[in-house]
Structure 1
Amino acid sequence: MSIKQKYRKVSTHIWNDQKFRALSERAKLSFLFIITHPHMTPLGAIRANLPGLAFELGMDTQAFTEAFAEVLAQGMAKHDEKGLLIWFPNFLRHNPPESPNVVKSWVGGYHDLPECDLKNTLIKHAACTVDGLSQGFREAFFEAFGQVCPQPSPNQEQEQEQEQKGKREEGTPPPDGEGPAPAPSVSESGESDAGDDVDAGSPDPSPKVPPCPYGKIASIYNAKLPQLAQVRDMTDTRRRVLQLAWRARAERQSLAWWEGYFDAVAQLPFLLGENDRGWRADFDWLLKTKSMLGVFEGKYENTKPAAGQKAPAGRAGNSVTEHNQGVAERLMQQG
């Protein structure tokens, strides 16, 4: 009978890491012991208490507690003492899922962890990590954690929108109803979104996230980007992907953010089809974390029009960069 082995990745660069090098010898030992512990879940969290870990390691409880306090002080781990939960925020960065099936398997370890605020934080962190991977990974996450991150019903969504109607920022126009939602066209940009680098180190600590107004975001997209394939139908898959993008960061949980995002896209000729291949972005592509970062960081600027086309007026030089930087700064402040 074969025994399934558990493997973890601990980068050799850890010995060059400033935080790790600042730890005492006992603190380094406590860190490595817990992160490679047989009961460590694939989410980088473990149900444990410090006296028990100290006993396993053969170390005095007080000495182990003081050593692990150094790890906590460096921000390398989070600990909910009452919840009996220890979590390493950078664990998934070094141990990303190798397939969608691995993401589905996370749910077993998740249910083994005790309920507490830290558990809510770590699952949001995991959602941010998956958000930077391909659609198959995102679908697997929602299939596995649909009950953990439930999608609101249409009635719940409408009730939430009515509650927030009077709270919208001044100058933000109300959306034009639910309208249509994303079309099944998925364009090929020639770029792979697998392995996107996601800054998921600061997930929203609040467990309450407003329901995602799918139809309103799709309507904003249609109004702001009539040059692109219009949104016609909202499938369950698109709802899941859009909800993941909505939940990934607190600043995205605002219709004003999505208006600013699509405004920024409208200033990028490359994404509107003015490129050598005639490729155009679409709603699905714009929901990817890699795409969003590229828009605001100026990756898709194009001052050289496609053959036979003239550069649009007012889009030469660094005007697009300045516009996107301004939009990005405003949107980041909203969070």
Structure 2
Amino acid sequence: MRDYAKVGPKFWIGDTGKALRKAGPDVLVVAMYLMTCPSANMLGLYYLPLPTLAHETGIPFEGALKALQRCCEVGFCSYDEDAEVVWVHQMARFQVADSLKAGDNRCKGIQADYDALPANRFLTPFFCLYVDAFHLTSCRGEGRANEAPSKPLRSQEQEQEQEQEQDKEQQGASSGDDAPNRSDPIPYSQIVRGYNSAMVNLPKVRELTPARKSAIRTAWHGSKGRQSLAFWTAFWAECAATKFLNGAGPYTGEHANWRPDFDYLIRSKTVTKVYEKAMDRMERAQRGDGEAAAA
């Protein structure tokens, strides 16, 4: 158990804080609990069974579950129901720092804490989001090969079903411009899922339309370096780490109310601008895996 936790005053006036406040007092209690509870760690990624959440907040189970779902919907956190692990997306920045110098001993501590986490589906997104800020050296996968995939929270089931239908549609397609082929398969839905996992402060993609498939295909064929899921994982992580692209801004003048979305980020011009940084990020992550395997 930690001796203390940091909660910044901006929690109450930031966009996410305002969204939590509008959602009601139970949602605010759960959000504050997730940052300060006995189970929490400085990473914001930790084991938390739902009965524990309900018991320690004093909120009836169904109410606590609904409040947690709302926290997920506004982008404050994500919950892996199968692993019983919660990830408060920006908590590590508040509990540790926006970034650390490479020689800071806390970097080794963060890597050690990360290595000790139970298997869950947030391990790779967490690494991609914080690899540069905390100089992480080794990325863990989403779990062991024999583990079942994580179950979504009930409020996310419809979204998951839609993604499965999209996958079936792609697998069953045998002709047409939007269908992948054996010589050039494009994992459309997996690229979309990568966006939804990493870009937690932007609108989720809920429809994989022909226009979006066309934009993905154009970006995919922009160069050989873009033709892997490893690149797209790194690409979304780079976007998530860039304030202009992740929704943090600042946005001024006539664009004060504008925010990027999937359609903007997947444009060929945007991908080209982010390409080199994303390639660097991907290569660093791969070197980290190689070094860990050789150790």
Give me the TM-score of the superposition, normalised by structure 2.
0.46
Give me the TM-score of the superposition, normalised by structure 1.
0.41
Looking at CA atoms only, which structure, 1 or 2, has the larger radius of gyration? 1
